[in-house]
Chain A
Amino acid sequence: MSSSEGPFLKAPLWKPEIGAYLFSGGLAGASAVLAFVARSRGNHRLARRALLTAAAGAAVSPPLLISDLGRPERFHHMLRVFKVTSPMSVGTWLLSGFGAAIGVAAASEVLGVLRPVGLAAEGAAALLGPGLATYTAVLLTDTAVPAWHQAHRELPFVFAGSAAASAGAAAAILTPAEAARPARRLAVLGAAGELAAAAAMKRRLGALAQPYEREPVRRLDRMAQSLSITGAAILGLLGRRRPAAALGGALVLAGSICQRFAIFRAGFDSARPR
């Protein structure tokens, strides 16, 4: 309180559930795209697993978001308006549309009924998926928190890379190795993009990147880097063997989770420097 420099902000109130949603929403969005492209290439084994991963990610997301509300029973008040100035409003509608589409697509896939409808729904989910994976960056940057707001050019690319890495990694774990080559490549590509964008983000932030040099964010950030690099290397070099694919995939997923939480937590320290 003695500092007259500021910032004089309130720290975000969001609980770790929101950090978890940054991951689950990204995983769901990117997996839907992976499923659609795999389907269009005739790789149905990969398509099925990516589709079900997307559905699982979409299913856990609303409970994470709703449980974070101060008045969870009023969650539907989000649906009374649509505001482009509110990334949370845009996200509500994105997730609602995505959830409906991926739900229909997954049900059709599992039950084997209404296939034309299921495939159309898969296409709709793939169309919304990239938006679902990247709007969460705007959710954070559209605040007064310096380490979030000033990263608004790079953060969507960090989240896009993180989402691609986790979708590829999850599919590489779940899919027989001979059908999982595109998934492994997506994981490696995504991890590379995530790390490059995160480095660019910190360069842009300059002195505002200070939270990344202090605990607990520093440890999370370092873990994100080493887990992603190790996991991507294992997937890329040894991924044709299933156990190696499982190990590499798990490391990339863990790296992606650490990345999300590092960025999430950095905002708290940035708003209220200690």
Chain B
Amino acid sequence: MAVVSGPPPYPDTRVAQPRPGQAVGFFTDSSICIGCKACEVACKEWNHVPTDGFNFLGSSYDNTGELGANTWRHVTFAERPAAPGGGDGQMRWLMNSDVCKHCASAACLEVCPTGALMRTEFATVVVQEDVCNGCGYCVPACPFGVIDRREEDGRAFKCTLCYDRLKGGMQPACAQACPTQSIQFGPIEELRTRARRRLEQLRQEGRKEARLYGVDGSDNEVGGLHAFFLLMDEPGVYRLPTRPATTTRDLPAMWKAAAAAAGALAAGVLLAFAGKGR
């Protein structure tokens, strides 16, 4: 929800130009999101993302629903009671622009069998469209339900963090278009500092409900997010999982169980031949 009083939270608008090899990302500050959806539009325009349909979801001002192959930025509109418990019937809007998290330990990338999903020189995660064969494995692997297959195309699509713009020294379209600096782009370390400072500021203003999401590895098992958030309520209110995990962290145990089961299968066949007879 928009904070309309107090000093501008980010008087220093300039974020250092990232160098190749430097990890970059987004810090999305939901406390100053006004729900204008300029990010959704700018993303679609720049990246030629097709329509996600003209659907009436009956869900506040949100007819996009969730991230997907054709929705790379999604503004959630959550209508919640203004006071805890709801009391006087006053409502407040919680708006937040969701995006691919470009996980430090990215399950989509790890399970991709063609190598189409890759880590760029900016530490972002990108699908190489000339390699992807549409196997769909990345789709149920993502703990955030971000990546999806474009059915009329057959390949998987998601936010590229405007890889082409980064290459050209520009910031991603959504951050460029955001009128309130709710979406900030920059080197991860600088964004982390900004996020922590902003949280401190909100806490001092008495906004106890403010919290950071994914700023490091402490509230998730994906090694930290390269697109993290400042939220004004529980993550689930914004369709964000409480403790996301990269599925491949359990891979050694999975392969071990499969090897044991394979051994059991072989032993079972031998056992079937045991004793008299052939």
One of A9, A179, A193 near B268 (C-beta < 8 A): A193
B154 adjacent to A142 (CB under 8 Å) = no
- C-alpha spacing A49/B40, complex, angstroms: 59
Say yes or no for B11: interface residue by CB 8 A criterion: no
Say yes or no for B180: interface residue by CB 8 A criterion: no
Say yes or no for B240: interface residue by CB 8 A criterion: yes
Can you list, as one digit per residue, whether each of A107-137 has a CB less than 8 Å from chain B (1) or not (0)?
A: 0000000000000000000000111011101
One of B115, B136, B250 near A149 (C-beta < 8 A): B250
Measured between beta carbons, the chain A residues less than 8 angstroms from B266 are 33, 130
Measured between beta carbons, the chain B residues less than 8 angstroms from A87 are 111, 254
Q: Is the interface of A mostly helix, strand, loop or mixed?
A: helix
B132 adjacent to A5 (CB under 8 Å) = no
A37 adjacent to B269 (CB under 8 Å) = yes
Measured between beta carbons, the chain A residues less than 8 angstroms from B264 are 157, 160, 193
Interface positions, chain A 95-117, Cβ under 8 Å from B, are none
B272 adjacent to A70 (CB under 8 Å) = no
Interface positions, chain A 1-50, Cβ under 8 Å from B, are 1, 3-14, 29-30, 33-34, 37-38, 41-43, 46
B140 adjacent to A164 (CB under 8 Å) = no
- C-alpha spacing A71/B111, complex, angstroms: 18
Can you list, as one digit per residue, whether each of A188-220 has a CB less than 8 Å from chain B (1) or not (0)?
A: 011001000000000000000000000000000
Q: Which residue of A lies closest to B260 (CB)?
A: A156
B241 adjacent to A89 (CB under 8 Å) = no
A6 adjacent to B149 (CB under 8 Å) = no
Say yes or no for B253: interface residue by CB 8 A criterion: yes
B278 adjacent to A138 (CB under 8 Å) = no
Q: Which of B191-199, B201-209, B231-239 sits within the interface? A: B231-239
B144 adjacent to A8 (CB under 8 Å) = yes
CB proximity of A57 to chain B, nearest CB, Å: 14
Measured between beta carbons, the chain A residues less than 8 angstroms from B144 are 8
One of A5, A75, A144, A152 near B236 (C-beta < 8 A): A5
CB proximity of B119 to chain A, nearest CB, Å: 13
CB proximity of B110 to chain A, nearest CB, Å: 4
Say yes or no for B54: interface residue by CB 8 A criterion: no
A186 adjacent to B272 (CB under 8 Å) = yes
Interface positions, chain B 65-117, Cβ under 8 Å from A, are 65-66, 68, 107, 110-116
Can you list, as one digit per residue, whether each of A132-176 has a CB less than 8 Å from chain B (1) or not (0)?
A: 011101100111110011001111110110011000100000000
Number of A interface residues, CB 8 Å? Answer: 79
A159 adjacent to B254 (CB under 8 Å) = no
Say yes or no for B16: interface residue by CB 8 A criterion: no
Q: Which residue of B lies closest to A163 (CB)?
A: B265
Say yes or no for B3: interface residue by CB 8 A criterion: no
Say yes or no for B44: interface residue by CB 8 A criterion: no
Measured between beta carbons, the chain B residues less than 8 angstroms from A143 are 111, 137, 140-141, 247
Say yes or no for A274: interface residue by CB 8 A criterion: no
Measured between beta carbons, the chain A residues less than 8 angstroms from B240 are 8
A binding-site residues for B, Cβ under 8 Å? 1, 3-14, 29-30, 33-34, 37-38, 41-43, 46, 68-72, 74-75, 77-78, 80-81, 83-89, 92, 129-131, 133-135, 137-138, 141-145, 148-149, 152-157, 159-160, 163-164, 168, 179, 181-183, 185-186, 189-190, 193, 267, 271
Task: Give 13 A-B pairs besides A78-B133, A141-B247, A164-B268 with Cβ atoms closer than 8 angstroms.
Answer: A6-B236, A6-B239, A12-B140, A68-B135, A78-B114, A80-B115, A88-B113, A89-B113, A142-B247, A148-B140, A156-B254, A156-B260, A182-B273
